[in-house]
Amino acid sequence: MQQLVIGAGSAIAQALIQQSLQQGDSIVAVSRQASSCEELSAGGRLRWLQCDYTESSIDAVCAELQESGVAFDRVTICNGILHDESLSPEKRLENAAIERLETVMRINAFIPLLWVKALKPLFKVKRKPCVITALSARVGSIGDNERGGWYAYRASKAALNMLLKTAALEYQREAKLVQFLLFHPGTTDSPLSKPFQKNISPKKLFTPQFVASQLLRLQGELTPDLPIQFIDWQGKQVEW
Ligand SMILES: NC(=O)c1ccc[n+]([C@@H]2O[C@H](COP(=O)([O-])OP(=O)(O)OC[C@H]3O[C@@H](n4cnc5c(N)ncnc54)[C@H](OP(=O)(O)O)[C@@H]3O)[C@@H](O)[C@H]2O)c1
């Protein structure tokens, strides 16, 4: 299989890349940093592209991919932040702040949409089945929100879901063989979840390797003909 992994520096993406290479796939990986798994260049099956995720750099990567004539079977978009050096998730309404809301929305919702937009011409030329996955989160479910908190992260994942559902409907008309998947990995041991792991029982804290293997399996088992599905690591539907 030919795969494109965006946000390839993520812990889940790294596991996905390693397992995909082991099963013989070819990967184009996109990240802000240069390759962190060079030892895995895998006889030319791993190509690493740097991108700063501005609209122009996303367009440039997609133009290069189109030029190379590559046809992807899987595209997986892993970008997402919950906290960084200066921002932590809001416990209460009083913590909501415009800068944080804008930053989290841009990275978690708008950047994935820009990729889906810039990749569309590739799928109109190369007509073959493909699954485009974005890493979403159950906390982005409006129906499932019973605890509140984490305003920016919740809203950004809800927005991601809506943006990709809308894009999936448009792809249905113009690139019918592309299906979309919004994937909730469960709480996974990664830099993103590190500060929030203390109340999670070890059984419920997944390794990136486990999550990657579930994702690879589920991408191959999607219900045909549905433009988009929102499922968790077990393959169970998540309420929108
Ligand atoms: N870990 C969990 O418990 C959990 C639970 C639910 C959902 N998720 C989702 O799973 C996905 C992967 O997360 P992870 O757990 O593997 O986290 P991680 O290791 O912290 O990965 C962070 C990801 O966000 C990207 N990123 C960070 N800062 C960015 C910025 N300023 N601009 C653009 N992209 C930026 C990174 O891209 P680069 O490759 O360019 O560095 C990387 O893909 C995220 O979308 C997350 O929301 C995770």
Query: Is 238 a member of any domain?
Result: no
Query: Is 29 a member of any domain?
Result: yes
pLDDT-based confidence at residue 59 (cuts at 50, 70, 90): very high
In this model, does residue 126 exceed pLDDT 80? no
The model's pLDDT over 134-145, given as tens digits with 9 standing for 90+, comes to 999 999 999 999
In this model, does residue 40 exceed pLDDT 70? no
Query: Is 210 a member of any domain?
Result: yes
In this model, does residue 1 exceed pLDDT 90? yes
Query: Is 50 a member of any domain?
Result: yes
**Ligand 1 atom nearest to 189, measured from its CA:** 1
Q: What is the mean pLDDT of residues 69-93?
A: 95
In this model, does residue 125 exceed pLDDT 90? no
Q: Is the CB of 78 under 6 A from ligand 1?
A: yes
- Which of 192, 199, 206 best tests ligand 1's pocket when mutated (most atoms within 8 Å of CB)? 192
Query: Is 239 a member of any domain?
Result: no
Distance 145 CA to ligand 1 centre (A): 21
Query: Is 99 a member of any domain?
Result: yes
Residues ≥6 apart with Cβ < 8 Å to 100:
87, 90, 152
Query: Is 237 a member of any domain?
Result: no
* Phi and psi torsions of 180, nearest 5°: -110, 150
Q: What is the DSSP letter of 85?
A: S
- Per the structure, the count of domains in the chain is 1
Q: Which CATH number does the domain housing residue 135 bear?
A: 3.40.50.720
Average pLDDT over the chain reads 95
Range of the domain at 12: 2-232
Query: Is 240 a member of any domain?
Result: no
For ligand 1, atom 41, the nearest C-alpha belongs to: 9
**Range list of β-strands (E), the chain:** 2-6, 26-31, 46-50, 74-77, 130-135, 178-184, 228-232
| Phi-psi group of 54: left, alpha or beta (phi > 0 → left; psi -120 to 50 → alpha; rest → beta) | beta
The predicted model scores a pTM of 0.97
The model's pLDDT over 89-111, given as tens digits with 9 standing for 90+, comes to 999 999 999 999 999 999 999 99
For ligand 1, atom 31, the nearest C-alpha belongs to: 107
The model's pLDDT over 212-233, given as tens digits with 9 standing for 90+, comes to 999 999 999 998 889 999 999 9
- Which of 81, 86, 160 best tests ligand 1's pocket when mutated (most atoms within 8 Å of CB)? 81
